[in-house]
Protein backbone atom coordinates (compact mmCIF):
# COMPACT_ATOMS: atom_id res chain seq x y z
CA UNK A 1 0.00 0.00 0.00
CA UNK A 2 2.96 2.34 0.57
CA UNK A 3 4.01 4.75 -2.17
CA UNK A 4 6.65 7.29 -1.17
CA UNK A 5 6.39 10.59 -3.02
CA UNK A 6 8.51 13.70 -2.86
CA UNK A 7 6.02 16.23 -4.24
CA UNK A 8 2.31 16.73 -3.63
CA UNK A 9 1.59 16.93 -7.39
CA UNK A 10 -1.41 14.79 -8.18
CA UNK A 11 -2.18 13.81 -4.61
CA UNK A 12 -5.75 14.16 -3.36
CA UNK A 13 -7.32 13.50 0.01
CA UNK A 14 -10.67 12.67 1.50
CA UNK A 15 -11.76 12.94 5.11
CA UNK A 16 -14.57 10.58 6.06
CA UNK A 17 -16.49 10.08 9.28
CA UNK A 18 -16.54 6.61 10.80
CA UNK A 19 -19.79 4.79 11.24
CA UNK A 20 -20.51 3.34 14.73
CA UNK A 21 -19.05 -0.07 15.36
CA UNK A 22 -16.39 -1.99 17.28
CA UNK A 23 -13.87 0.26 19.06
CA UNK A 24 -10.51 0.93 17.43
CA UNK A 25 -7.44 0.12 19.53
CA UNK A 26 -4.99 2.87 18.52
CA UNK A 27 -1.97 1.02 19.94
CA UNK A 28 -2.71 -2.12 17.94
CA UNK A 29 -3.55 -0.05 14.87
CA UNK A 30 -0.20 1.79 14.96
CA UNK A 31 1.62 -1.49 15.45
CA UNK A 32 5.38 -1.55 15.68
CA UNK A 33 6.19 0.83 12.82
CA UNK A 34 3.23 3.19 12.50
CA UNK A 35 2.69 6.68 13.88
CA UNK A 36 0.81 7.26 17.13
CA UNK A 37 -0.06 10.27 19.27
CA UNK A 38 -2.37 9.58 22.20
CA UNK A 39 -3.17 12.37 24.64
CA UNK A 40 -6.29 11.95 26.77
CA UNK A 41 -9.27 11.73 24.43
CA UNK A 42 -7.25 12.93 21.44
CA UNK A 43 -5.79 10.23 19.20
CA UNK A 44 -3.93 10.28 15.89
CA UNK A 45 -2.63 7.16 14.10
CA UNK A 46 -0.80 7.25 10.78
CA UNK A 47 -0.28 4.29 8.44
CA UNK A 48 1.81 4.15 5.29
CA UNK A 49 3.54 7.05 3.51
CA UNK A 50 1.73 9.09 0.87
CA UNK A 51 4.22 11.96 0.95
CA UNK A 52 7.57 12.60 2.60
CA UNK A 53 8.46 16.29 2.89
CA UNK A 54 12.19 16.79 3.37
CA UNK A 55 13.50 19.54 5.65
CA UNK A 56 17.14 19.62 4.51
CA UNK A 57 17.95 22.71 6.55
CA UNK A 58 16.08 21.53 9.63
CA UNK A 59 14.54 24.14 11.90
CA UNK A 60 17.20 26.65 10.84
CA UNK A 61 15.63 26.98 7.37
CA UNK A 62 12.42 29.09 7.42
CA UNK A 63 12.00 28.46 3.69
CA UNK A 64 11.92 24.69 4.21
CA UNK A 65 9.28 25.04 6.92
CA UNK A 66 7.13 27.44 4.90
CA UNK A 67 7.30 25.19 1.84
CA UNK A 68 6.35 22.17 3.96
CA UNK A 69 3.10 23.71 5.20
CA UNK A 70 2.37 25.10 1.74
CA UNK A 71 2.83 21.60 0.35
CA UNK A 72 0.22 20.27 2.75
CA UNK A 73 -2.20 23.05 1.82
CA UNK A 74 -1.73 22.21 -1.87
CA UNK A 75 -3.28 18.76 -1.45
CA UNK A 76 -7.03 19.06 -2.17
CA UNK A 77 -9.08 17.51 0.62
CA UNK A 78 -12.75 16.63 0.27
CA UNK A 79 -14.53 16.35 3.61
CA UNK A 80 -17.63 14.18 3.85
CA UNK A 81 -18.19 15.11 7.50
CA UNK A 82 -19.15 18.37 9.17
CA UNK A 83 -15.59 19.64 9.65
CA UNK A 84 -13.74 22.20 7.50
CA UNK A 85 -11.73 20.84 4.62
CA UNK A 86 -7.94 20.97 4.57
CA UNK A 87 -7.32 18.34 7.24
CA UNK A 88 -4.25 16.70 5.69
CA UNK A 89 -1.75 16.19 8.51
CA UNK A 90 2.00 15.58 8.57
CA UNK A 91 3.88 14.01 11.49
CA UNK A 92 7.49 14.04 12.60
CA UNK A 93 10.05 13.44 15.31
CA UNK A 94 12.57 16.19 14.58
CA UNK A 95 16.21 16.08 15.70
CA UNK A 96 17.35 17.99 18.76
CA UNK A 97 19.98 19.77 16.66
CA UNK A 98 18.23 22.63 14.85
CA UNK A 99 20.42 22.46 11.75
CA UNK A 100 20.11 18.70 11.30
CA UNK A 101 17.96 17.59 8.39
CA UNK A 102 14.53 16.19 9.19
CA UNK A 103 11.34 15.28 7.40
CA UNK A 104 7.57 15.35 7.73
CA UNK A 105 5.48 12.32 6.78
CA UNK A 106 1.95 12.48 5.43
CA UNK A 107 0.42 9.03 6.02
CA UNK A 108 -1.71 7.34 3.39
CA UNK A 109 -4.28 6.70 6.14
CA UNK A 110 -4.75 8.81 9.27
CA UNK A 111 -7.18 7.71 11.96
CA UNK A 112 -8.32 10.51 14.26
CA UNK A 113 -10.38 10.63 17.41
CA UNK A 114 -11.39 13.63 19.50
CA UNK A 115 -13.64 12.53 22.32
CA UNK A 116 -16.47 10.56 20.74
CA UNK A 117 -15.83 11.87 17.22
CA UNK A 118 -13.86 9.63 14.87
CA UNK A 119 -12.75 10.07 11.27
CA UNK A 120 -10.29 8.81 8.70
CA UNK A 121 -8.28 10.86 6.21
CA UNK A 122 -7.05 9.03 3.10
CA UNK A 123 -4.39 10.52 0.81
CA UNK A 124 -4.11 8.92 -2.61
CA UNK A 125 -2.62 9.43 -6.06
CA UNK A 126 -5.97 10.07 -7.73
CA UNK A 127 -9.66 10.43 -7.00
CA UNK A 128 -10.18 6.89 -8.26
CA UNK A 129 -8.05 5.60 -5.37
CA UNK A 130 -10.14 7.33 -2.70
CA UNK A 131 -12.89 5.43 -0.84
CA UNK A 132 -16.34 6.47 -1.97
CA UNK A 133 -18.10 5.49 1.24
CA UNK A 134 -17.10 5.25 4.90
CA UNK A 135 -19.14 2.07 5.34
CA UNK A 136 -16.19 -0.32 5.24
CA UNK A 137 -13.55 1.87 6.86
CA UNK A 138 -14.05 0.59 10.40
CA UNK A 139 -13.78 -3.03 9.35
CA UNK A 140 -10.61 -2.18 7.40
CA UNK A 141 -9.08 -0.47 10.45
CA UNK A 142 -10.07 -3.34 12.70
CA UNK A 143 -8.44 -5.82 10.34
CA UNK A 144 -5.28 -3.68 10.21
CA UNK A 145 -4.78 -3.90 13.98
CA UNK A 146 -1.86 -6.03 15.09
CA UNK A 147 -2.35 -8.94 17.46
CA UNK A 148 -0.58 -8.30 20.79
CA UNK A 149 2.44 -10.54 21.23
CA UNK A 150 4.21 -11.81 24.28
CA UNK A 151 7.43 -9.82 24.17
CA UNK A 152 7.64 -6.96 26.62
CA UNK A 153 4.51 -7.97 28.57
CA UNK A 154 6.25 -9.73 31.43
CA UNK A 155 6.45 -13.13 29.76
CA UNK A 156 9.70 -15.11 29.67
CA UNK A 157 12.25 -13.48 27.41
CA UNK A 158 11.37 -9.91 28.40
CA UNK A 159 13.81 -9.74 31.31
CA UNK A 160 16.61 -7.40 30.27
CA UNK A 161 20.33 -7.67 30.62
CA UNK A 162 21.81 -5.14 33.05
CA UNK A 163 21.35 -1.50 32.10
CA UNK A 164 24.52 -0.42 30.29
CA UNK A 165 25.39 3.28 30.67
CA UNK A 166 27.03 4.81 27.62
CA UNK A 167 29.21 6.79 30.06
CA UNK A 168 30.13 6.17 33.69
CA UNK A 169 28.61 7.87 36.71
CA UNK A 170 31.94 9.54 37.39
CA UNK A 171 32.09 10.87 33.82
CA UNK A 172 28.63 12.39 34.18
CA UNK A 173 29.53 13.98 37.52
CA UNK A 174 32.68 15.41 35.92
CA UNK A 175 30.57 16.80 33.04
CA UNK A 176 28.22 18.54 35.48
CA UNK A 177 31.21 19.91 37.39
CA UNK A 178 32.61 21.44 34.20
CA UNK A 179 29.25 23.04 33.49
CA UNK A 180 29.09 24.51 37.01
CA UNK A 181 32.56 25.96 36.57
CA UNK A 182 31.42 27.65 33.34
CA UNK A 183 28.31 28.98 35.11
CA UNK A 184 30.53 30.29 37.90
CA UNK A 185 32.65 32.16 35.34
CA UNK A 186 29.52 33.76 33.91
CA UNK A 187 29.75 31.93 30.57
CA UNK A 188 26.11 30.89 30.83
CA UNK A 189 23.24 30.67 33.32
CA UNK A 190 21.80 27.22 32.66
CA UNK A 191 22.58 24.16 30.59
CA UNK A 192 20.74 20.83 30.27
CA UNK A 193 23.07 17.82 30.14
CA UNK A 194 21.98 14.33 29.13
CA UNK A 195 23.25 10.77 29.46
CA UNK A 196 22.35 7.60 27.54
CA UNK A 197 21.89 3.99 28.63
CA UNK A 198 21.20 0.84 26.60
CA UNK A 199 18.91 -2.05 27.49
CA UNK A 200 18.72 -5.35 25.60
CA UNK A 201 15.75 -7.70 26.02
CA UNK A 202 15.57 -11.42 25.42
CA UNK A 203 13.33 -10.99 22.37
CA UNK A 204 11.96 -8.29 20.11
CA UNK A 205 10.08 -5.54 21.94
CA UNK A 206 6.33 -5.58 21.35
CA UNK A 207 5.69 -1.90 20.63
CA UNK A 208 1.87 -1.92 20.96
CA UNK A 209 2.12 -3.68 24.34
CA UNK A 210 4.73 -1.14 25.49
CA UNK A 211 2.66 1.83 24.33
CA UNK A 212 -0.51 0.58 25.99
CA UNK A 213 1.33 -0.06 29.25
CA UNK A 214 2.96 3.38 29.08
CA UNK A 215 -0.43 5.02 28.55
CA UNK A 216 -1.81 3.23 31.62
CA UNK A 217 1.26 4.22 33.64
CA UNK A 218 1.29 7.89 32.59
CA UNK A 219 -2.29 8.92 31.72
CA UNK A 220 -1.37 12.62 31.96
CA UNK A 221 1.30 12.35 29.25
CA UNK A 222 1.20 12.23 25.47
CA UNK A 223 2.19 8.74 24.38
CA UNK A 224 3.87 8.80 20.98
CA UNK A 225 5.48 6.45 18.49
CA UNK A 226 7.20 7.73 15.35
CA UNK A 227 9.67 6.08 12.96
CA UNK A 228 13.10 7.70 12.85
CA UNK A 229 16.40 6.91 11.10
CA UNK A 230 17.72 5.39 14.34
CA UNK A 231 14.64 3.22 14.98
CA UNK A 232 11.13 3.60 16.35
CA UNK A 233 11.13 6.63 18.66
CA UNK A 234 8.55 6.08 21.42
CA UNK A 235 7.78 7.76 24.71
CA UNK A 236 5.33 9.38 27.10
CA UNK A 237 6.11 13.08 27.10
CA UNK A 238 4.73 15.29 29.88
CA UNK A 239 5.86 18.54 28.23
CA UNK A 240 3.96 20.51 25.60
CA UNK A 241 6.32 22.63 23.55
CA UNK A 242 3.57 24.41 21.63
CA UNK A 243 0.04 23.90 20.33
CA UNK A 244 -1.70 26.14 17.84
CA UNK A 245 -5.42 26.02 17.09
CA UNK A 246 -6.49 28.85 14.84
CA UNK A 247 -5.10 31.98 16.48
CA UNK A 248 -4.85 30.41 19.94
CA UNK A 249 -1.48 29.22 21.21
CA UNK A 250 -0.48 27.23 24.31
CA UNK A 251 2.87 26.16 25.74
CA UNK A 252 3.34 24.20 28.95
CA UNK A 253 7.00 24.03 30.01
CA UNK A 254 8.22 21.88 32.91
CA UNK A 255 11.37 22.42 34.99
CA UNK A 256 12.17 21.53 38.56
CA UNK A 257 11.94 17.90 39.61
CA UNK A 258 11.34 15.89 42.78
CA UNK A 259 10.65 12.25 43.45
CA UNK A 260 7.01 11.37 43.93
CA UNK A 261 6.32 9.53 47.16
CA UNK A 262 3.46 7.06 47.18
CA UNK A 263 1.63 6.57 50.43
CA UNK A 264 -1.66 5.07 51.53
CA UNK A 265 -3.49 8.19 50.36
CA UNK A 266 -1.65 8.62 47.08
CA UNK A 267 0.96 11.19 46.17
CA UNK A 268 2.63 13.63 48.49
CA UNK A 269 4.69 16.45 47.03
CA UNK A 270 7.98 16.99 48.86
CA UNK A 271 7.65 20.51 50.21
CA UNK A 272 11.26 21.14 49.28
CA UNK A 273 10.34 21.39 45.58
CA UNK A 274 8.11 24.43 46.08
CA UNK A 275 10.59 25.93 48.51
CA UNK A 276 13.69 25.21 46.46
CA UNK A 277 15.30 28.39 45.18
CA UNK A 278 17.34 26.38 42.71
CA UNK A 279 14.23 24.75 41.18
CA UNK A 280 12.35 28.06 41.13
CA UNK A 281 15.18 29.73 39.21
CA UNK A 282 15.48 26.82 36.79
CA UNK A 283 11.75 26.86 36.11
CA UNK A 284 11.48 30.63 35.71
CA UNK A 285 14.32 30.68 33.19
CA UNK A 286 12.25 28.41 30.95
CA UNK A 287 9.01 30.34 31.39
CA UNK A 288 10.64 33.71 30.76
CA UNK A 289 12.41 32.47 27.64
CA UNK A 290 9.18 31.13 26.13
CA UNK A 291 7.32 34.32 27.04
CA UNK A 292 10.09 36.35 25.37
CA UNK A 293 9.54 34.43 22.12
CA UNK A 294 5.73 34.21 22.15
CA UNK A 295 5.04 37.69 23.56
CA UNK A 296 5.90 39.64 20.39
CA UNK A 297 3.89 37.16 18.31
CA UNK A 298 0.71 37.61 20.37
CA UNK A 299 -1.85 40.34 20.93
CA UNK A 300 -2.21 38.87 24.41
CA UNK A 301 -0.19 36.33 26.36
CA UNK A 302 -1.08 35.07 29.81
CA UNK A 303 1.96 34.09 31.88
CA UNK A 304 1.08 32.87 35.40
CA UNK A 305 3.32 34.23 38.14
CA UNK A 306 3.54 30.89 39.97
CA UNK A 307 3.89 27.31 38.68
CA UNK A 308 1.55 24.45 39.44
CA UNK A 309 2.39 20.82 40.12
CA UNK A 310 2.63 18.05 37.52
CA UNK A 311 2.30 14.56 39.00
CA UNK A 312 3.74 11.64 37.06
CA UNK A 313 3.95 8.08 38.29
CA UNK A 314 7.33 8.48 40.01
CA UNK A 315 8.21 12.16 39.51
CA UNK A 316 6.73 15.57 40.32
CA UNK A 317 7.57 18.64 38.23
CA UNK A 318 6.88 22.35 38.38
CA UNK A 319 4.78 23.38 35.38
CA UNK A 320 3.37 26.60 33.94
CA UNK A 321 0.76 27.01 31.19
CA UNK A 322 1.30 30.02 28.92
CA UNK A 323 -1.68 30.80 26.68
CA UNK A 324 -2.27 33.58 24.20
CA UNK A 325 -3.84 34.88 21.01
CA UNK A 326 -1.52 35.17 18.04
CA UNK A 327 -1.32 38.49 16.19
CA UNK A 328 -1.97 38.68 12.46
CA UNK A 329 1.11 39.07 10.32
CA UNK A 330 1.20 41.57 7.42
CA UNK A 331 -0.04 38.76 5.17
CA UNK A 332 -3.12 38.40 7.38
CA UNK A 333 -2.09 34.95 8.60
CA UNK A 334 -0.84 33.89 12.01
CA UNK A 335 2.36 31.84 12.45
CA UNK A 336 1.77 28.15 11.82
CA UNK A 337 2.69 25.59 14.46
CA UNK A 338 5.88 24.54 12.65
CA UNK A 339 7.10 28.14 12.60
CA UNK A 340 6.34 28.38 16.32
CA UNK A 341 8.39 25.24 16.94
CA UNK A 342 11.31 26.80 15.10
CA UNK A 343 11.00 30.01 17.10
CA UNK A 344 10.97 28.17 20.44
CA UNK A 345 13.30 25.18 20.11
CA UNK A 346 15.34 24.46 22.09
CA UNK A 347 13.76 26.02 25.14
CA UNK A 348 15.85 26.20 28.34
CA UNK A 349 13.97 23.07 29.47
CA UNK A 350 16.19 21.01 27.14
CA UNK A 351 18.90 23.48 26.08
CA UNK A 352 19.91 26.32 28.32
CA UNK A 353 20.47 30.07 28.77
CA UNK A 354 21.84 31.77 26.75
CA UNK A 355 20.71 29.34 24.07
CA UNK A 356 23.79 29.58 21.88
CA UNK A 357 26.29 29.12 24.70
CA UNK A 358 24.27 26.21 26.09
CA UNK A 359 24.08 24.44 22.74
CA UNK A 360 27.83 24.85 22.29
CA UNK A 361 28.46 23.35 25.73
CA UNK A 362 26.11 20.43 25.06
CA UNK A 363 27.97 19.71 21.82
CA UNK A 364 31.32 19.88 23.60
CA UNK A 365 30.52 17.90 26.76
CA UNK A 366 28.06 15.22 25.67
CA UNK A 367 29.88 12.26 24.15
CA UNK A 368 27.16 11.30 21.67
CA UNK A 369 24.55 13.21 19.66
CA UNK A 370 21.05 13.26 21.13
CA UNK A 371 19.30 12.24 17.95
CA UNK A 372 15.54 12.67 18.43
CA UNK A 373 15.79 12.90 22.22
CA UNK A 374 14.54 16.33 23.44
CA UNK A 375 13.62 17.33 19.89
CA UNK A 376 10.11 18.40 18.84
CA UNK A 377 7.77 15.50 18.17
CA UNK A 378 4.26 16.12 16.87
CA UNK A 379 2.22 17.13 13.85
CA UNK A 380 1.04 20.03 11.71
CA UNK A 381 -1.97 20.11 9.40
CA UNK A 382 -2.76 21.95 6.18
CA UNK A 383 -4.27 24.85 8.13
CA UNK A 384 -1.09 25.34 10.16
CA UNK A 385 -2.63 23.98 13.34
CA UNK A 386 -0.63 21.41 15.26
CA UNK A 387 0.60 20.02 18.54
CA UNK A 388 4.28 19.48 19.36
CA UNK A 389 5.70 17.84 22.45
CA UNK A 390 9.27 17.58 23.64
CA UNK A 391 10.71 14.14 22.90
CA UNK A 392 11.59 13.35 26.52
CA UNK A 393 10.83 10.32 28.74
CA UNK A 394 11.49 8.42 25.57
CA UNK A 395 13.54 5.65 24.05
CA UNK A 396 14.62 4.52 20.60
CA UNK A 397 13.83 0.89 19.75
CA UNK A 398 15.67 -1.40 17.40
CA UNK A 399 14.41 -4.99 17.62
CA UNK A 400 15.57 -6.19 21.07
CA UNK A 401 17.51 -3.10 22.08
CA UNK A 402 16.40 0.22 23.53
CA UNK A 403 18.41 3.38 24.04
CA UNK A 404 17.16 5.58 26.87
CA UNK A 405 18.23 9.17 27.51
CA UNK A 406 17.67 11.48 30.46
CA UNK A 407 18.67 15.11 30.92
CA UNK A 408 18.90 17.47 33.89
CA UNK A 409 19.09 21.24 34.15
CA UNK A 410 22.28 22.62 35.65
CA UNK A 411 22.21 26.07 37.29
CA UNK A 412 24.17 27.77 40.05
CA UNK A 413 23.61 25.72 43.21
CA UNK A 414 23.26 22.39 41.42
CA UNK A 415 25.03 19.47 43.11
CA UNK A 416 26.63 17.00 40.66
CA UNK A 417 25.77 13.85 42.63
CA UNK A 418 22.18 15.05 43.12
CA UNK A 419 21.89 15.65 39.37
CA UNK A 420 23.18 12.11 38.78
CA UNK A 421 20.41 10.75 41.01
CA UNK A 422 17.86 12.80 39.06
CA UNK A 423 18.97 11.24 35.76
CA UNK A 424 18.45 7.80 37.29
CA UNK A 425 15.01 8.83 38.53
CA UNK A 426 14.04 9.87 35.00
CA UNK A 427 15.54 6.73 33.47
CA UNK A 428 13.55 4.67 35.98
CA UNK A 429 10.36 6.37 34.75
CA UNK A 430 11.08 4.90 31.31
CA UNK A 431 12.30 1.51 32.55
CA UNK A 432 9.08 1.09 34.52
CA UNK A 433 7.23 1.03 31.20
CA UNK A 434 9.79 -1.02 29.31
CA UNK A 435 10.36 -3.69 31.97
CA UNK A 436 7.46 -3.54 34.46
CA UNK A 437 8.57 -6.58 36.47
CA UNK A 438 12.09 -5.31 36.79
CA UNK A 439 12.64 -3.78 40.20
CA UNK A 440 14.95 -0.78 39.95
CA UNK A 441 16.71 0.60 43.00
CA UNK A 442 19.24 3.33 43.51
CA UNK A 443 22.39 3.53 45.57
CA UNK A 444 22.00 6.46 47.94
CA UNK A 445 25.78 6.91 47.92
CA UNK A 446 26.50 6.90 44.20
CA UNK A 447 23.15 7.24 42.50
CA UNK A 448 23.95 4.19 40.36
CA UNK A 449 20.90 2.43 38.91
CA UNK A 450 20.77 -1.26 39.85
CA UNK A 451 18.26 -3.66 38.25
CA UNK A 452 17.35 -6.83 40.10
Identify any residues that bridge with 90 across adjacent strands, giving them in sequence order. Answer: 380
User: Is the peptide bond prior to 346 cis by the omega test (within 30 degrees of 0)?
Assistant: yes
- In sequence order, what are the residues at sequence separation of 6 or more whose Cβ sits closer than 8 angstroms to the Cβ of residue 11? 5, 50, 51, 75, 123, 124, 125
Active site residue 445: no
Catalytic residue among 100, 118, 190, 218: 190
Q: DSSP string of 208-263? A: HHHHHHHHHH-TTSEEEEEEETTEEEEEEE--EEEEEETTEEEEE-EEEEEEPEEE
Q: Which of 25, 17, 12, 9 is nearest to 215 (CA)?
A: 25
Neighbours of 82 (CB within 10 A): 7
Catalytic residue among 118, 239, 243, 419: 239
Instruction: Provide the CA 250 distance to its chain's centre, in angstroms.
Output: 15
Neighbours of 272 (CB within 10 A): 9
**CA angle at 406 for the pair 400 and 407, rounded to the nearest 5°:** 160
278-to-43, 113, 172, 358, 389 alpha-carbon distances in Å: 37, 41, 20, 18, 25
The 3-state secondary structure of 409-429, one letter per residue: EECCCCCHHHHHHHHHHHHHH
Handedness of CA 134, 140, 144, 148 (dihedral sign): positive
How far, in Å, CA of 186 to CA of 345, rounded?
23
How far, in Å, CA of 443 to CA of 68, rounded?
48
Identify any residues that bridge with 78 across adjacent strands, giving them in sequence order. Answer: 14
Active site residue 97: no
- Which positions are catalytic? 190, 239
Amino acid sequence: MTRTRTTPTGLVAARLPLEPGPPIDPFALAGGTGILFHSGSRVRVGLGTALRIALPGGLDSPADLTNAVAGLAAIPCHDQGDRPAGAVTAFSALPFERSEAGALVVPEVTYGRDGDTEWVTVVAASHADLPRSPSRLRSWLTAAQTTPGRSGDGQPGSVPSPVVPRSSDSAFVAMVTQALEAIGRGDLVKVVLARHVDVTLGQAIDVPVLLRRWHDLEPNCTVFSVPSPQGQFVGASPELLVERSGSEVISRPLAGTAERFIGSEGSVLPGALLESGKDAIEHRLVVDAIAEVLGPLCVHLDVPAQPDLVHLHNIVHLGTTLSGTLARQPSGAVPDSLALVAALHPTPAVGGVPAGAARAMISRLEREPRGRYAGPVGYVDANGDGRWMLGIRALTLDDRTARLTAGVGIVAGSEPTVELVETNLKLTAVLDALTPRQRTTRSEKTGQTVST
